[in-house]
Amino acid sequence: MKKGIAASKGYAIGQAIIKENREVSIVERRIENVQAEKERLDKAINNSRNQLVKIKEKAEKELGSDKAAVFESHIMLLDDPEFTGAVAMNIESNKVNAEKALSDVIEMYMGIFASMEDEYMRERAADVKDVGNRILANLAGNGADDLENLNENTIIVAHDLTPSDTAQLDRSKVVGFITNIGGRTSHSAIMARTLEIPAVVGLKDITENVKNGDTVIVDGEEGIVLINPDEATIAKYKEKKAAYEKEREELKKLINVKTVTKSGKHVEVAGNIGKPEDIHQVLENGGDGVGLFRTEFLYMDRDEMPSEEEQFEAYKYVAEKAEGRPIVIRTLDIGGDKKLPYLPLPEEMNPFLGYRAIRLCLDRKEIFKIQLRALLRASVFGNIKIMFPMISSLEEFLAAKDVLKECMNELRSEGKDFNENLEVGMMVEIPAAAVCADELAKHVDFFSIGTNDLIQYTLAADRMNEKVSYLYNPHHPAVLRLIKMTIDAAHKEGKWCGMCGEAAGDESMIPILVEYGLDEFSMSATSILKAKQIIMNN
């Protein structure tokens, strides 16, 4: 039995598949036998080719030949003398192991491509990295599995899953996942909750304790993983799983019930979404709307920025499906643990304190404006509200609003419609914003407290780091005071205050938040019904 951090509720029983750590750290070795090392490389290239051919065939069948073309170019890269040829030469001339020779070549290409202006060439950088990582995984002897070809009842075992890895998981096959690193509020955990896949993270060395094909139980309630349990344990967990599913079934009675606290206050219980289609799950779970649309997921898993038109369609879709319910759409929050393959950003010592979210958007206005125009245009199709992330000062909020006004003026002169009265609010997720909430409240239409970041910045405890997860505590008095200050400040100016961090769906936090007078709770769709029940009892 292994204990980790419960990241997504529910129970899963299935067979383990180890997902290779694609970002393996490279150890340099000097080698004597050049020929043998080149043969190792050739074998890894051949294995990579076999895998890619399979993936390409599957993609052709399921996605069409245009989508499959990328794998053809990956296969061609395997035979490219400038790439794999250069690796072999590197082994020969520097007498280093294949891993080191390959990673040097990848790095060289990444350096060259990343500095190029040309979109196409930058995409090639992502291809080289992807193919290179595949060969590296095969050199390590664990490249055969891929998230694309899975059996039913699979439990993914990984060092870590990136948010986009998680977003791609096929729910009909993957019943659970477990990882070495990560915390409850890392984005892969959040995605797992959205997908309703039970998950335990922060297990430290689970990839070393589980083998492919092992039977694994994931207990997403207690944060426990059991490896090759006996029949009696499996039977016990089957019962727990059935009871859990029954409780979920019973909570469904609350789907159409208005959420009113014991003292008679009506509060909204909304859902957090990452993709437009997630709105369905929110509505099916009785959500009063969307309290956080993390739009950065629209920018992931692709080769280029989504255009204004594409974004407009996505926002319009959500607005229409919500049928008048409020939809809070947060502008791009990239950086931190969320990266875009086609937007190379400088490596930073402290990405969570760095160039991210509104900071990046105010610096790269051309990117920001595309999104704001799309949002404004979609605002006539429903009850859209715009929210800026990572605001640390009034100046920053006003600067973001200025860009929004610029977009409004442009649209007016182009004769394009938008909702002139749309609400514009901000996330309170930096302690400075909570402390200055009284000033900010005069200028915003609403606040939404982002406890995921607020806690990590207040307590100086990385939300992704399982080693300090014991410090990461929403009940810390400093965090509670900042939350209360923010709610009070909003109310003093007659504004509403919501919360879209994970604490809003935390069963132990809800009674406190009700007492503080929080107006809106936004959370993973699967937590909505339970939260409604608790709010009504408080």
Residues forming the annotated binding site for Mg(2+)? 429, 453
Q: With binding defined as CB under 6 A, does residue 294 bind ligand PEP?
A: yes
Question: What DSSP string describes 354-406?
Answer: SS-HHHHHHH-HHHHHHHHHHHHHHGGGSEEEEEESS--SHHHHHHHHHHHHH
Strand ranges (E), 264-355: 268-273, 290-294, 326-330
- Joined tokens for residue 459: 């307590």
Q: With binding defined as CB under 6 A, does residue 452 bind ligand PEP?
A: yes
- What is the rounded CA–CA span in Å between residue 482 and residue 485? 5
Partner touching 500 among ligand PEP, Mg ion, none, CB below 5 to 8 Å by kind: ligand PEP
**Which residues are part of the catalytic machinery?**
187, 500
- What is the rounded CA–CA span in Å between residue 210 and residue 14? 12
Nearest in space to 528 (alpha carbons), one of 193, 294, 220: 193
Q: Is residue 53 within a helix (H) or strand (E), and if so which, with residue range? A: helix 34-63
User: Out of 20, 268, 453, 519, which residue is the one contacting Mg ion (CB under 5 A)?
Assistant: 453
Q: With binding defined as CB under 6 A, does residue 333 bind ligand PEP?
A: yes
DSSP 461: -
- The mark string for 398-437 relative to Mg ion (x by CB under 5 A, - otherwise) is -------------------------------x--------
Q: How far is the CB of 429 from Mg ion (least distance, A)?
A: 5
Size of the site for ligand PEP (CB under 6 A): 10
The dihedrals phi and psi of 270, each to the nearest 5 degrees, come to: -115, 175
Partner touching 294 among ligand PEP, Mg ion, none, CB below 5 to 8 Å by kind: ligand PEP
Residue closer to Mg ion (CB basis): 215 or 392: 392
- The mark string for 432-451 relative to ligand PEP (x by CB under 6 A, - otherwise) is ------------------xx
Q: How far is the CB of 184 from Mg ion (least distance, A)?
A: 14
Q: Do the beta carbons of residue 357 and residue 389 sit within 8 Å?
A: yes
β-strand pairing of 215-219 with 11-19: antiparallel
| Angle CA 402–404–377, to nearest 5 | 165
Q: How far is the CB of 457 from ligand PEP (least distance, A)?
A: 9
Q: How far is the CB of 509 from ligand PEP (least distance, A)?
A: 13
Partner touching 451 among Mg ion, ligand PEP, none, CB below 5 to 8 Å by kind: ligand PEP
Q: With binding defined as CB under 6 A, does residue 453 bind ligand PEP?
A: yes
Q: Do the beta carbons of residue 18 and residue 157 sit within 8 Å?
A: yes
Q: Which amino acid is at 71?
A: F
Residues forming the annotated binding site? 294, 330, 429, 452-453, 463
Q: With binding defined as CB under 5 A, does residue 288 bind Mg ion?
A: no
Residues contributing to the site for Mg ion (CB under 5 A) = 429, 450, 453
Residues contributing to the site for ligand PEP (CB under 6 A) = 292, 294, 333, 429, 450-453, 500-501
